[in-house]
Chain A
């Protein structure tokens, strides 16, 4: 079975500073990787995903993530954060299979707080 670890439950960052949110996964087979964001009082929104190809993936709102197979990591980065980036960020994986309905397995989430 696959699993996801987000070691940092809370990350405070000053406005305009860079940020990295860490995600490591475990799986015996190949996976697809995702980052979802949850703004206050809203549902989860897809930030970016890695399915295949270039290991550097760019998403919405200036975020990017790099898939590192040897490190089994998919860390999320942004070079300069804004107050509006304050949210909960979830890393997730799903198995690669012919069955398109595979479930997502989520990490525990990282609460990003931007300090003015």
Chain B
């Protein structure tokens, strides 16, 4: 089976722009979670989607949003980019709803740099 794929792998944007990141989960996985990783903050949970519905959300401003499609692929959008949004954005998929504690499989991440 192919692993979790994320596109693009690298992205450079300027302040005020918006960006959309994409994640394709492992085939058969219905849960997709998004994380932001920065050197100072470590891994921070953004949100989790299951069957096209947002089930869990972390403490991020409304500029961060996401969605999941019927094929379980997920997109994350960040509007009005700020310098502090520069980070590695990781996507992880799992079989079922996250609260059952399924093992998560991580993608390689998208490295976003905001100038």
A, B assembled together: no
Which A residues have a C-beta under 8 Å from some C-beta of B? none
